[in-house]
Amino acid sequence: MSTIDLPLTRESIVAAHALIKPHIHTTPVLTNTTLSHLASTPQRPEALRGTPWEGQEPAKPKIRLFFKAENFQKIGAFKVRGAFHAVLRLVEEKGIEEVRRKGVVTHSSGNHAQALALAARTLSVPAHIVMPSISTPSKISGTRAQGAILHFSGSTAAEREAVVADIIKETGSTLIPPYDHPHIMLGQGTMALEFEEEVAKMLEEKPELSVHYRETRGEEEGKAKGRKGGVLDALIAPCGGGGMLSGNAIYFHSTPTLVFGAEPEFEGADDARRGVAAGERITSVKTLTIADGLRTPLGPHTWKVISDKDYVAGLYAVTEQHIKDALRLVLERMKCFVEPSAVVGLATVLFNEDFRRLVEKEAGEEGWDVGLIFSGGNTTIEAIVKMFGDVDKKEAARGEGVVGADGKEVAENVAG
C-alpha cells in the first residue's frame, strides 16, 4: 500500500473525511426511547444466574442511547470509508494512471471485498479480490456486481495470502488490507467525526434527548445544564480486526468522550479483550460466533491503539444469547435491519454488568449519553430465520413481546 502514512491524529481524520465525503453516505444517527429505557432498567436477578454476576445486586445505570447507522452506508457497512480513503491516498502518491494500470488487490470474504470493489469501480481501477471458495454466495455475487476480478482460494490465511502474492507478482497491483493500516483506520474514524457533529446538532434542536438535560425555567437554561466539554460521554464500537474501533479512538483521543470496544466471547472471539488483559496481542482466532464480522484478530497497527488505555478505556465481551436478544430488540423495536456484529455494543450496554456498573459508578444519578455504532446490515433473511429458529414455539404462538430487563413486556416502540 502507500508508503506515505498519515499520522494517527484527529486532524488526519478530518482530512480523510474531506477527501472521501463525495463518495460515501453521511449515515443518520437514530434514537429509541424504548431501548434507552431498557438500558436504564436494572437487570432481573434471575437474568444474572449462571453469569459472573450471579448473586450480586444488579447495576442501576442511567443511559441515553444514540445509534450511528452504518448499516445504511454504501454496500451496507462502514468498510467503504477505509477503502475509499486508502485508494484515494494511493492515487495521490502514485498517480491515477499508474494505479489504473496496475490495480489493487485484497483478500476478504465479506464487507471489505465489496467496499474495495466499489471504490475501485468508482475510480476505474482494476480490483482483484481473493475470496475463500466457501464464502457466502450473496457476498460473492455482491462483490462481482461491483465489477471486481474474483480469485478463489482456500479458507486459511496462508492460502489466501499465497494467491494475493501471485497476483501482485503477476500484475504489480497494490495490496489494500481490510483493517490493519493507518489509512484504513483513519478512514473508518470518519464516522466518529460525523457522529459528534450529528449528535451536537440533535441536542441543539432537542436538548431533552440528552440524559444531562434538566427541565428548568426555560429551554436555554436546560441546555446550559448539558454535558460540559463534550457531546457523548462514551462510545462503544464493535471490535474484530480493530480498524473501526481504533479509528474512533483516534478521533476522540484527549476529548471527554470515552471509547470502549465490544466483542463476542464465543470460542475466544474476545481476543482483543483477552490480549489487552494479558499484555500481548493474540494473533489467531478460530470461532464460529454468529457475529461473523468480528472473527478476526487485531493486527499490529490496530493493537497499538487499542491496547493503549489513553485511547480505548475498556473492552467488554457478550454471549451469543445476548447478541441475539439485542438483535431481536433492534429488529422489532427500532425496525432497523442490522447484522449480528452490529449489536455487540448494544448487548454490552444492556447485559454486561461490568460496563453497567462503570456507568453507575462514574456517572452517578446523572447518567451517560452513550453512542453505539451499527457497523453494518449485511445479513440475510435466511440467516436470521435460522438464528431464531430455536425460539420456544409456545411463546411464538402466543405472540408474546420482548421482555424487558424489569421482567415486564415492552409494549411500545417510541422513537426519541
Give catalytic residue positions: 79, 109
CA distance 192 to 213: 23
CA distance 60 to 39: 9
CA distance 289 to 319: 9
Q: What kind and span of H or E run contains 328?
A: helix 320-329
- Can you give the C-alpha Rg of the chain in angstroms? 21
CA distance 399 to 52: 32
- Residue 180 and residue 1 in contact, taking contact as beta carbons nearer than 8 Å: no
C-alpha cell at position 353? 454488568
CA distance 147 to 169: 22
Give the helix ranges, DSSP H, for 108-218: 111-122, 137-145, 157-171, 182-188, 190-205
Q: Is 42 helix (H, G, I), strand (E, B) or coil?
A: coil
